[in-house]
Structure 1
Amino acid sequence: MRPVVVERAILVVDAVLVVVSGIGCAVGYHVATAGTLGKTDVYAAASALVAINFVLLTTVQHGYRLKNITNLPRTFRMALTTWTGLFGALLAIAFTMKVSEEFSRGTTISFYLVGLAVLLAWKIVAARWTARALRTGAFANGRAIMIAEFGLATASNTVDDLGQHGYRLMQVMEIRPKDLASPLLLSQLAPRFEELIAYARENRVEHVFLLMNWSRQHAIDSILDALKILPIPVHLVPDPNAARFLRYPLVSTGNTFTAELRRAPLSWKERALKRTLDLVGASVALFVFAPVMLVTAILIKLSSKGPVFFRQTRHGFGGRAFKIFKFRTMRVLEDGPTIRQAQKNDPRVTPIGKWLRKTSIDELPQLFNVLKGDMSLVGPRPHAAAHNDEYEQIIGNYAFRHHVKPGITGWAQVNGYRGETRALELMKKRVEYDLWYINNWSIALDFRILLRTTLVGFRQHSAY
């Protein structure tokens, strides 16, 4: 059985369970309370809408990949946050469009609880079955052999990865480094190669994988020459040095493929598409969060002296300076050559400010920066001008972050690099994620980051 078939089957079962739960809860509730079936067609359509959105959101988070399916804690967290967030969003939309009266509260609540329980129970079954199948090699239908440099097969994850993606390693032939470096490799190991070829024929092997340092060109060519009698494909597995660069997008430049280590700036079409997303997204967000922002402004004004908004100089696209807007969370308004980051239990943070930072509500005024064009919804987080100048001197490629507009949220933030950077290594890691975002930008990636921000934005623990 192929892994992709299993992944799609689990996706389909998720969707079916959601639809059945929705219709079942609607019918059961109406029969129990009113003795009638109720608006079955309306609830069926609503259940299908919930199912489609749930599987799409889970797919975006890679929830249907085999390795993630077997990770029960992660699967449970993803199902719970996605299901809850989806219900909250759909109820808000239904209320805004004045169609919420079409659905009874009893049916909605029971659908939420029953649907979640059914999904979690199914996730347990799917995780256990998938884990057992991986252990027994049920997904490994492609018979393969590996020729590896001595020690590499056990030191890398290649063997496990191949097993989880449809290949069953029948045999591993290890070669010592000194033999690989020898110009007489073929003659020295001729009996072993003959034995391997006979084994491949007898067991109908379909693939050969080479796992060795790519600098061993003579050894690779010699092994290919020895295997030319076998009419099967030979795959060269990237060594650690090559794998580092092959993480970047591969681009065709004529007859040559290159790893695009640094992509060109966004084209005018890409900038227009990103700007459209920013304008629409920021406008909708301001409309949705206007009541929250109003209440926040009142609480800030009542709880401490000072302005409602905090403005600070940051560097944006091309290194140009702009003033960022945030809700004031401190008793000080630092904006100069010396700025101290907020720390845990920082006495400068007001009581209401601590809560605003934890929930990220203090960032909402940056929606005005997005409308002005200084920022984007998604991009590298801008740092205070003083910190920006400091990091440019000590972190290589730091300035490359200015090749796109800074964002309210970013790839680094949804991967946990948010808040105080107590050590230089934390900032280097954040910059690494920012550069990956710039080199791999797409509108789909922006949507993915926005989705993950809504799912994890209110349970960050590193913002003080």
Structure 2
Amino acid sequence: MLSMSHTLISRHGAVASQRRRKRLIGELLSVAIAIGDVLCIVAMAVISGVAYHQFVYGGPGDVYSYMRLGGVIATVVVISNLFRGEYQLGNFLSVAPHTRRTLQLWNITFVGLLIVAFIGKVTDDYSRGWLLMYFSTGLAALLVQRLVAVQLVRHYTGSHVIATKRIFLIGNAGEIERFLAEQKPRRGGIEIVGCRFLSAAVQSGSVSERQRALTRELEAVIPSIRQLEPDAVFILTSWADQSVVEGCIEMLLTLPAEIHLLPGYTLDKYSNARLTRLGPIASLQLVRLPLSRFELLQKRLFDIVLSAVGLVLLAPLLAAIAVLIKLDSPGPVFFFQRRYGFNQQPFRIFKFRTMTTLDDGPVVRQATQGDARITRVGRWLRATNLDELPQLINVLKGEMSLVGPRPHALAHNRVYEHVIARYASRHNVKPGITGWAQVHGVRGETDTPDKMQKRVEYDLFYIEHWSLSRDFLILLWTVISPKAYRNAH
């Protein structure tokens, strides 16, 4: 806890030798993670190459060629990560952000090397089967290596052996207290080396009086900050108080440390907020595109390939289901209903007909447990999720994706978008045949706002944390997880 009777609080026990030791251990750990990447990539090249050729050809093959390719890929990956600042310890407090970045870099590296190999006419030197095996096992090994690295960094920061960053705080007493209480920097491995509460004289009076008071206080505290050698100084005061902010920055520029200005707690709701430039214009970007152009390309290629293959392989099953529907009850085989797609553009969704009604008007009654409108075949189709298979056509047409927020009838959208905050944000990506909410059992009738709110929370999490690997997992869980079949009626 900070004592309000003191304006400067520092860890005098943290002597220079201790600080240097912490910094050295942190730097060595960063280097060890980078070396781990190299060893992991090269080792998996050799292991997968030997295993594949031993199984297929009865011999280990050219081990040197495996090492050579692994070395090239390791060099590209590590250099790219160095330029991106990937090996900073602050990045290793959570596993989730690494999944997307590692998958993207791994894909780009392989595609780039395949293009170079094709141009250089050396593709015949390497077995396609082995390359596919190496792509899969190498990616899996890198992700495991990231998991181990995160556990190590968490352990060492938790035991105070290292600090991801050492910071000094300057600002209003209330802002500093709130920052420590709400942000909990210690959980992020951040070490608070000291702080300075700005006095009332800095916050009241004329501009010239306030500037003189600020200059006196900073001149008194800067020698102590210099002695503490923080990595960064955080200014915790209102942006509206421009004279105080600019005065702090001007005097703190004499220190060899980063200077951070916290923009206020409104931005805590926007996890992707960052400073950007549009030509000469500097702006604070609160929300990024849901998916970048490259991510959209990955997802679309993924959708086209799997939906086309699925339609071909499942054609006999689709035909058999169509026959059963016609034999079971009068009416069409398919059910069409208008729903919102990307950017709230309406489209007609394909489904196998499972009910005796074809509701698509201003009022659409949801199916409930034991609903008399559901046909005998329809009940089986709903329980097994097979009624959704015709949506592979919507996916191929580009109206839907294999994975995404499930689209709802227009009548339901009109109700919930006025009741649930950010409901409409679900339409910032294409709707999916299955989704993050569905594989967690959050599906079925939404007879209360709370049930829809829960579904929206899962959908927004999916959008904000999208990755191709997550799409693979969701498709797998849709088939094998019991939760994916929960509340199917």
2:313 corresponds to 1:291: yes
Quote how far apart the aligned CAs of 1:133 are.
Answer: 2.6
Distance in 2 of aligned mates of 1:194 and 1:411: 57
Aligned residue for 1:456?
Answer: 474
Q: Deviations over 1:174-204 (max 9, x none)?
A: 458x676434667768776455312222244
Distance in 2 of aligned mates of 1:381 and 1:342: 15
Distance 1:374 1:422, change over 3 A: same
Q: Which of residues 256, 264, 283 in structure 2 aligns to 1:258?
A: 283
Distance 1:368 1:102, change over 3 A: closer
Aligned residue for 1:208?
Answer: 233
Aligned residue for 1:351?
Answer: 380
On the 8 A contact 1:379/1:407 being kept in 2, the answer is: yes
Q: Deviations over 1:211-238 (max 9, x none)?
A: 3443444543453455455464421123
Identity of aligned residues (%): 28
**Structure 2 gap ranges (5+):** 1-25, 104-126
TM-align CA RMSD:
5.7
Distance 1:66 1:289, change over 3 A: farther
Distance in 1 of aligned mates of 2:388 and 2:228: 62
Quote how far apart the aligned CAs of 1:311 are.
Answer: 1.9
TM-score when normalising by structure 1: 0.62
Distance in 2 of aligned mates of 1:224 and 1:405: 41
> Structure 1: which amino acid aligns with 2:314?
V
2:443 corresponds to 1:419: yes
Distance in 1 of aligned mates of 2:300 and 2:243: 53
Aligned residue for 1:369?
Answer: 394
Distance in 1 of aligned mates of 2:189 and 2:392: 47
Distance 1:169 1:295, change over 3 A: same
Quote how far apart the aligned CAs of 1:171 are.
Answer: 1.9
Distance in 2 of aligned mates of 1:117 and 1:400: 32
On the 8 A contact 2:232/2:258 being kept in 1, the answer is: yes
Aligned residue for 1:314?
Answer: 339
Equivalent residues, number: 403
Quote how far apart the aligned CAs of 1:456 are.
Answer: 1.8
Aligned residue for 1:144?
Answer: 167
Aligned residue for 1:82?
Answer: none
Aligned residue for 2:260?
Answer: 235
Q: Which of residues 412, 431, 439 in structure 2 aligns to 1:407?
A: 431
SS at match of 1:350: helix
2:196 corresponds to 1:173: yes
SS at match of 2:362: coil
Structure-to-structure mapping, 1:48-447, within 5 angstroms: 65-69=91-95, 126-136=149-159, 140=163, 143-148=166-171, 149-157=175-183, 159-160=185-186, 163=189, 168-174=191-197, 181-183=203-205, 193-224=218-249, 227=252, 229-230=254-255, 232-244=257-269, 247-248=272-273, 250-253=275-278, 255-259=280-284, 278=300, 281-282=303-304, 284-299=306-321, 301-302=323-324, 305-306=328-329, 308-316=333-341, 321-328=346-353, 333-342=358-367, 348=374, 350-356=379-385, 362-372=387-397, 374-375=399-400, 381-395=406-420, 406-408=430-432, 419-420=443-444, 421=446, 423-424=448-449, 427=452
Quote how far apart the aligned CAs of 1:453 are.
Answer: 1.8
Distance 1:336 1:323, change over 3 A: same
**Structure 1 gap ranges (5+):** 80-100
On the 8 A contact 1:133/1:139 being kept in 2, the answer is: yes
On the 8 A contact 2:435/2:474 being kept in 1, the answer is: no
On the 8 A contact 2:215/2:247 being kept in 1, the answer is: no
On the 8 A contact 2:403/2:474 being kept in 1, the answer is: no
SS at match of 1:147: strand
Quote how far apart the aligned CAs of 1:208 are.
Answer: 1.2
TM-score when normalising by structure 2: 0.59
SS at match of 1:172: strand
> Structure 1: which amino acid aligns with 2:170?
I
On the 8 A contact 1:330/1:353 being kept in 2, the answer is: no
Distance in 1 of aligned mates of 2:296 and 2:194: 50
Deviates more, 1:141-150 or 1:416-425: 416-425
2:62 corresponds to 1:37: no
Distance in 2 of aligned mates of 1:201 and 1:156: 27
Quote how far apart the aligned CAs of 1:324 are.
Answer: 0.7
Q: Deviations over 1:136-194 (max 9, x none)?
A: 55664765322243412322336247636xxx542233458x67643466776877645
Distance in 1 of aligned mates of 2:468 and 2:356: 31
